[in-house]
Chain A
Amino acid sequence: GDSVTQMEGPVTLSEEAFLTINCTYTATGYPSLFWYVQYPGEGLQLLLKATKADDKGSNKGFEATYRKETTSFHLEKGSVQVSDSAVYFCALTPNTGNQFYFGTGTSLTVIP
C-alpha cells in the first residue's frame, strides 16, 4: 500500500546551518506530496506541497522537489533559525484523493 518513510530524528542544528530532512514514498500513480510542520502544542500546518513530478514547493525559505525517479521529496533550507524548531511531517495523498499518509515525523531543534 501507499506509505511514506521519513528520516528519523531528532535533528539538532546550529543557527544558520543547512537543513535536509529526507522523505521517500511508495505509491501507485502520481500522488500529491506535502510537508507539514507542527510547533509545540499546536496542530499541523501546511508548509509546502507539490502535485506533480518535478514540481518544487517552497515556503518560508524551505524547499522540496517532487522526484518521481527516486520517489523522494526531501525538505531543505539553506539557513535555519531558532524559530524553525518544530516537528516536520512528510505526507502523501494518492491520486484518488481519499486518504492522507504521514511519515513518523522528524523533530528539529535549532540552537543559537
Chain B
Amino acid sequence: EAQVTQNPRYLITVTGKKLTVTCSQNMNHEYMSWYRQDPGLGLRQIYYSMNVEVTDKGDVPEGYKVSRKEKRNFPLILESPSPNQTSLYFCASSYAGNTEAFFGQGTRLTVV
C-alpha cells in the first residue's frame, strides 16, 4: 500500500529538548516536504527536498532542520523546541513538486 508514515503521532516535550519526527514514504517519490498546520493559518511549508541531499527552505523554516540522506526518509529536527512550535505537523511526498502530494497522518506536537 502506497503511504507516507510519520512517527510519532503525538508528542509532548519540554522547551529545549531536541526531538526528531520521522517521515518515510514507499512510493519512490523524489519530492518530500514538511508542513505545519495552525488554526486560521492553514498549512505552511517548513522545508522541502527535491531529491537526495537537496533541501530548501519553505515559508517558515526558523527553528527547524531537515536532512535527506535517503530517498525514502525525510526527518524533521527541532534542535531546541519552543512553545511557539506547538502545532500539527504533516509530511508529504510527491513524484515532483507540482504533482499530487500524499500526506502522512500528522504529528501533534506540544512543547511546554
Q: Say yes or no: B97 contacts A98, CB within 8 Å.
A: yes
Interface centre among B4, B42, B90 (most CB of A within 10 A): B42
Q: Tell which of A11-19, A63-71, A73-81, A102-110 binds the partner.
A: A102-110
Q: Say yes or no: A93 contacts B90, CB within 8 Å.
A: no
Complex interface bits, A40-71 against B, C-beta within 8 A gives 1, otherwise 0: 01111110010100000000000000000000
A51-B97 Cα distance, complex, nearest whole Å: 13
Q: Say yes or no: A43 contacts B105, CB within 8 Å.
A: yes
Instruction: For the complex formed, measure the closest distance between the CB of B73 and the CB atoms of chain A, giving whole angstroms.
Output: 17
| Known contacts A44-B103, A93-B97, A95-B98: A104-B48 contact under CB 8 Å | no
Q: Say yes or no: B45 contacts A99, CB within 8 Å.
A: yes
Interface centre among A96, A98, A104 (most CB of B within 10 A): A98
Interface centre among A6, A43, A94, A103 (most CB of B within 10 A): A43
A44-B4 Cα distance, complex, nearest whole Å: 11
Q: Say yes or no: A43 contacts B90, CB within 8 Å.
A: yes
Instruction: For the complex formed, measure the closest distance between the CB of B4 and the CB atoms of chain A, giving whole angstroms.
Output: 7
* B residues neighboring A (CB under 8 Å): 4, 33, 35, 40-45, 48, 50, 56, 58-59, 90, 92, 96-98, 100-101, 103-106
Give 5 A-B pairs besides A43-B92, A98-B48 with Cβ atoms closer than 8 angstroms. A43-B90, A93-B98, A97-B98, A99-B59, A100-B35
